[in-house]
Amino acid sequence: MDAILTEFQNLNIGKVLKNEPLLHHTTIKIGGPADLFIEPSSAENLKKAMDVIEKHKIKWRAIGRGSNLLVSDKGIEGAVIKLGSGLSHLNINETEITVGGGHSLVSLSTLISKKGLTGLEFASGIPGSVGGAVYMNAGAHGSDISKILTKAHILFDDGKMEWLTNEEMEFSYRTSVLQKKRSGIVVEAVFQLAAGDRAAIVSQMQKNKDYRKETQPWNFPCAGSIFRNPLPNYAGNLIEVAGLKGFSIGGAKISEMHGNFIVNAGNATAGDVLALIQHVKDTIYSLYEVKMETEVEIIGKK
């Protein structure tokens, strides 16, 4: 691995680190080390990194801002590619925007609202990257990425880059083709928005932000919603009615504000969170015969 590390560093593609603790790169502040941690300084350098990964057949995965992610205490084998400021470009062409996969979704929605463009209000409190949001079809307040995405520029693990249309992304509830069929990185996305009343858009954005602050525990490290809603039921409601709010294992605790959030209440491990997830699954099934499926992505060495 040292020889491969040197090969990456000699390419001068951005930040390249060995055994980087991923707890520094996840919103729940949990995660062991990545064998290699790469943060490319541009889309071109991301392509160069993927070429080396493909040449050496290195296992890899991409992350953005680390939300909706639970990384094993043992870390991740191979390379972790972080989409950061090097892929946060933004171009606004009337009502169409092209944005890099590393751009913060929250800051994007705030900026766009000030331009008087509507369509991204739902994203005002989603603490992830554009790439991650497209990857998992992130949504809230009755809307999601599939409603606004025209196409996405994807770098696949064979080094090829392709534009996929909205239809080709095969969006469904909190998922896309990138989870179901083809492994790739969202380099950039094109969103089609609409002109709207700036004051009304900003007002709706603030309401969405206030609602999140009032109902969700963003003052603690967390990964966002842990379970998918087992419609017609809602995960948070089932967990609350089951009396599990506030229940903890180790440093992991079910939020007292919202049942579908597990917070890092102090030095929690991935093992603590996984044990708590299993306890919720077992409890909900025994009470209601409802199978709970995780929305948070669980990755890393077992």
The one catalytic residue among 20, 121, 188, 295: 295
The one catalytic residue among 174, 176, 188, 212: 174
Give CA–CA dist 226/233, Å, rounded: 15
In three state form, how does the secondary structure of 20-64 look?
Answer: EEHHHHCCCCCCCEEEEEEEECCHHHHHHHHHHHHHHCCCEEEEC
Give CA–CA dist 98/235, Å, rounded: 34
**Residue 225 bears catalytic tag:** yes
CB neighbour class for 246 (10 Å; exposed up to 12, middle 13-18, buried from 19)? exposed
Task: Please provide residue 293's backbone torsions phi and psi, each rounded to the nearest 5 degrees.
Answer: -115, 140
Give CA–CA dist 249/247, Å, rounded: 7
Residue type, 92: I
CB neighbour class for 158 (10 Å; exposed up to 12, middle 13-18, buried from 19)? exposed
**Residue 203 bears catalytic tag:** no
**Residue 174 bears catalytic tag:** yes
Give the residue numbers marked as catalytic: 174, 225, 295
